[in-house]
Chains A and B, each alone.
Chain A
Amino acid sequence: MKTNGLYSKEEKIFQDKNKLYQAHSVKQIAYSTDPRDFGQVAKSIPCQEACPARTNIPGYIRCINEKRYGRAYELNRGANIMPGVLGRICSRPCETACRHGAPDNGVSVGICHLKRACADLKSPMHRIIEGLYAPSGKSVAVVGSGPAGLAAAHDLAILGHRAVVFETMEKPGGMLMYGIPEFRLPRDLLMTEINNILRLGVELKTGQAVGTHITLETLTREFDAVVVAAGCTKPRLLGVEGEDLENVYNGLDFMKQINKLIGDKLIGDRPQLINRINSGQSPIDRQINRGLSPIKKINWGLSPIKNVAVIGGGFTAVDCARSAIRLGAEQVTLYIRKTMDDMRIDETEKHEARFEGIGVESLVQPARILGENGRVSGIEFVRTRIETTEKPPYKKSVPIAGSEFVVPCDSVIAALGQAPDAHDVSDALTGLDKDSPATGMKGVFAAGDFVTGSTDVISAIAGGRRTALAVDLYLTAMERKKTVVRLESHATTDRPRSYDFIDRVPMNTIAMDQRLADHTREVETGFDPDQALAESRRCYLCSLKYEIDPLRCIYCSACIDVAPKDCIKMVETIPVNADGTYGRYVETGQWDRVVSITIDNEACIRCGQCYEVCPMDCISVTKTELIQMDMDE
């Protein structure tokens, strides 16, 4: 690592200056509800804006930089509840939005790896912090213990309500427990973070399928409100001939079965697992197959999985493929309808799949599944091309006539995603609207994938939290929290320019033989403190807002001369949008029209060069953070 534990001369000077500034500065803090400040925060901190739970990313990265891992963990937990889990499996919309990954700025910060780092590196005696409200005397039933249900239960418990979670399966966690493979998410870690929620007094009733063991109507009578967070379980079908052949599995069922076998400790390592599967000893869980799949015959007593075709390009498909490798498959190929670029998984995941020898065939779709004696023998595919459409989805794949070809395989895993099934819960449950937590039934709310269709864990958690607030409002008729912008004067720019050139720290992983030897062993092993420090330095800390005081500015343009980006603009007007936020700057090249020299915080990489050169000291730095406050605070 270039920066491991060593400080360059430039960094030392910077640190000394920093200490001096801190000694002399007096913190000035203000709280704002001005729409312009909300607008500024949204534009300035793209990672936080992209995070469905609005995690204070620069805040926790800064804490990691100061080795305050516990504080970093709590900053995360305050927004996303399960940082250790998310630090491993989050879909990372923040990283796609990160300013460091913008064109010409390099590669995005390893936000997710840093989240994991604070979870891993915090003290084993770490104390979680929860601000509990007085008990309300109200009770809420939560249907489903996936991330959305758990998040809703967590927040309801904090708000003083009794939360009881009903779960079909034997263990809580939903897709975290039964969908995501253990080699990506260790179950002891998952259980620790679930237990942190249960410790708040949340009651968990497993093996209780609402709609089968207990009706939704009963829950509405026994509880003051109900949150349905039952996820998506109805698989999308291939809709082709041969789908009912043996050895055609539905992706989610495939993962569930493997995870259940491992969870039941029936299997520990690969050879055992293969034996179990091939000898057909594994108990077929009736719950798993209960109406969930059209391919009901998940029968592990079939011939070994050798040459596997996985249809689909999302997380489930890749998890199925990687699991198939661990089941002993010799050849595993993903078949996707659109392009490689359209695969809905992040680069790390793509890399790991490739590393494990999984092939990808793009621009194809299955035409039919071929069989011999009731078993799969191959798939006939047809090539597709991409067609641009006027309306969403804007790009669609269209089969190319006459382009059929056949590939031999012995197993097909169809992982095309799944849709929610409201009828499974209750026929009376109508009026689901992905933009609203309320449903058509009074006192019944919905959250997570169940209402939005399949998304990701972080969206489900954010959805669960939003729904909890809506339930709270329904139960108490009080709005208890407000979001405000906290503004704190900041005397320094916090980081030297050299940090911008640190390479992204790659994640440590275990070797291929170790992956195959122990089926459940976690592939990624996390950062050590030096790696976490190096990666944390890469963050621009976009919560720092740079401003030029127009009253002191003498228009010398010294800042423009040193700016590394097109970040300082000569502005004619700054329009205000209908919602009260600032619009796009109207720039001008004519000095007589310039009303101010302004820093564009969307382009600014917080390098501090302008701050250094300004002869009038008219550039100020303010830390801007979104925080939740009690209404009566």
Chain B
Amino acid sequence: MPTSDHYVIIGNGPAGNAAAFTLRENDPDARITIISHENISFYAKPKLVRYLAGDIDKSALMVKEPDAYLQNNIRLRLGQTVMRIDLQNRCLHLAHMETVQYTRLVIASGSRARLLPSMKPYADCLTFVTEYNDIKGMREKIAAGKHFFVFGGDLVAFKFLKMLTHMKKQVTLLLYPKAFWPHTLTHAMQKTIVDNLARTGAHILVNDDLDTIVPEEQGGYNVTTQQGVKKQADLVFTFNGLIPNVDFARGCGLDIDHGILVDETMRTCLENVFACGSCAQIYNPDLTAYTTSIGWPNAVAQGKVAGLNLAGETCRVQQAGRKYFDLEGVKIKTTWWEDADREDTEGEDTDREGNDRKDADFKNTERKDVECKDTDRDRKTGEKDGR
């Protein structure tokens, strides 16, 4: 493949990194750039909550330090936001008015917090925990604060709630049965969850909704629910699931539904544009449904396939089947979630294993996730032989 080709990857999460490093393994000369709007190297989002709670420090959050990119000759552009994709001219428009040309593009822009329509008017009062940027300065505020309000009820919310109560903070959780998107909790499920969570000492509200959030002058918020519950909180958090982060790609000509539509080679409707990880939407024949693959292992598997296909192979991603996992005593069946931070919460000594474990998630996803079909390669033989 000619070295003048420029492979640009939007996103520095597990999918983007898997794509970049897989491509590097298969093409030592490729010119590779990763663009990410966050000003931090590759880190483990699943650990954000523990970092927030002061449980781990920043170094334990990191998966790859900038050196790894230097060594692998991958250009890492941090703190740069892609505003728009121009497919016709094969370039990206960045927020600081620079344009970046690409030959092949991988969109791995991940997901962002789902904001419920009823919460839209109060967006400015809410704290999200979806990326490092969101939580800068929050660690100190949490340490200093006493009362917290949590809306939602996804897995991260429960984990967070437990951490706060463990820190002897007073927490009110307003549980939304629809928060665990795309699953809606039944009454029975909800009851089990509430019973389990109540043991933490948190105040759990159900069958209620947000009425108003009023910021106080000296900091903090007054939260009122529709049932008339009034709470003062130092911070108000919301956890209502994640949605693909693809707004910047809308209107550029790619087919976008909830996420960017891709086939099992992670190709979009255009030959030279790929999407993988949480921002991609793919049909899963086993489930006869589309999924936006929120979840670390899926992101890595898809990133690898994108990387291999960028390098000229024709590989198909093998879709994950459904797995059960435990949501506060309720078994939920999903394809997309695996508690990537599970071992840690079970009390393993992470400091001891340190760096080894950081990369473990990444390395463990071996080629078994990837199925290469020789027949499919024919189309690409020319390119492959040339390499």
Contact = CB atoms under 8 A, between A and B. Distances in A.
B83 A341 contact: no
A195 interface: no
A104 B257 contact: no
B288 A405 contact: yes
B117 A355 contact: yes
Interface string A375-411: 0000000010110100000010000101111000000
Interface in A545-599: none
A104 B93 contact: yes
Please classify how large the interface on chain A is, using the bins under 10, 10 to 19, 20 to 34, 35 or more.
20 to 34
Given A403-B288, A405-B288, A355 B250 contact: no
A341 B289 contact: no
B261 A385 contact: yes
Contacts of A506: 121
B288 A339 contact: no
Contacts of B258: 340, 362
Interface in B246-294: 250, 255-258, 261, 269, 283, 285, 288-290
Nearest to B211: A511
A131 interface: no
Nearest to A566: B97
B84 interface: yes
B3 interface: no
A386 B289 contact: no
Contact of A340 (B120, B257, B285): B257
A395 B288 contact: no
A203 B227 CA distance: 54
Interface residues of B, number: 20
B218 interface: no
B283 A103 contact: no
A403 B121 CA distance: 39
B118 interface: yes
A383 B282 CA distance: 12
B285 A103 contact: no
A354 interface: yes
A109 interface: no
A395 B270 CA distance: 13
Contacts of A341: 250, 255-257
A386 B269 contact: yes
Given A340-B257, A341-B257, A386-B255, A405 B83 contact: no
Nearest to A403: B288
Interface in B368-383: none
A362 B256 CA distance: 11
A351 interface: yes
A610 interface: no
B269 A388 contact: yes
Nearest to A509: B121
A341 B255 CA distance: 8
A506 B117 CA distance: 13
Contacts, number: 49
* Listed residue (A339, A354, A362) with the most chain B CB atoms within 10 angstroms of its CB: A339
* Listed residue (B250, B257, B283) with the most chain A CB atoms within 10 angstroms of its CB: B257
A362 B255 contact: no
Contacts of B283: 383, 385, 400, 403
A354 B93 CA distance: 31
Interface string B65-94: 000000000000000000110000000010
B289 A354 contact: no
Contacts of B84: 103-104
Contacts of B289: 383, 405
A599 B178 CA distance: 52
Contact of B257 (A339, A351, A403): A339
Contacts of A354: 117
A339 B256 contact: yes
B238 to A, nearest CB: 16
A104 B288 contact: no
A112 interface: no
Contacts of A404: 288
Contact of B83 (A104, A340, A385, A386): A104
B354 to A, nearest CB: 43
* Listed residue (B93, B250, B255, B256) with the most chain A CB atoms within 10 angstroms of its CB: B255
Interface string A333-361: 00000011100000000010011000000
Nearest to A564: B97
B288 A402 contact: yes
A40 to B, nearest CB: 25
Nearest to A355: B117
A148 interface: no
Contacts of A355: 117-118
Nearest to A102: B84
A284 B269 CA distance: 48
Given A103-B84, A104-B84, A104-B93, A363 B288 contact: no
Interface string B288-319: 11100000000000000000000000000000
Nearest to A513: B226
B93 A103 contact: yes
Contact of B261 (A339, A400, A402, A405): A339
A386 B285 contact: no
Contacts of B255: 339, 341, 386, 388, 395
A372 to B, nearest CB: 23
A475 to B, nearest CB: 45
A339 B244 CA distance: 14
B181 to A, nearest CB: 11
Given A339-B256, A341-B256, A386-B261, A363 B269 contact: no
Given A340-B257, A341-B255, A405-B289, 7 more contacts: A103-B84, A104-B84, A104-B97, A341-B256, A351-B120, A363-B257, A402-B285
26 contacts: A104-B83, A104-B93, A339-B257, A339-B261, A340-B258, A341-B255, A341-B256, A351-B117, A355-B118, A362-B257, A362-B258, A383-B283, A383-B288, A383-B290, A385-B261, A385-B283, A386-B261, A386-B269, A388-B255, A402-B285, A403-B283, A403-B288, A404-B288, A405-B288, A405-B289, A506-B121
Interface of A: 103-104, 339-341, 351, 354-355, 362-363, 383, 385-386, 388, 395, 400, 402-405, 506
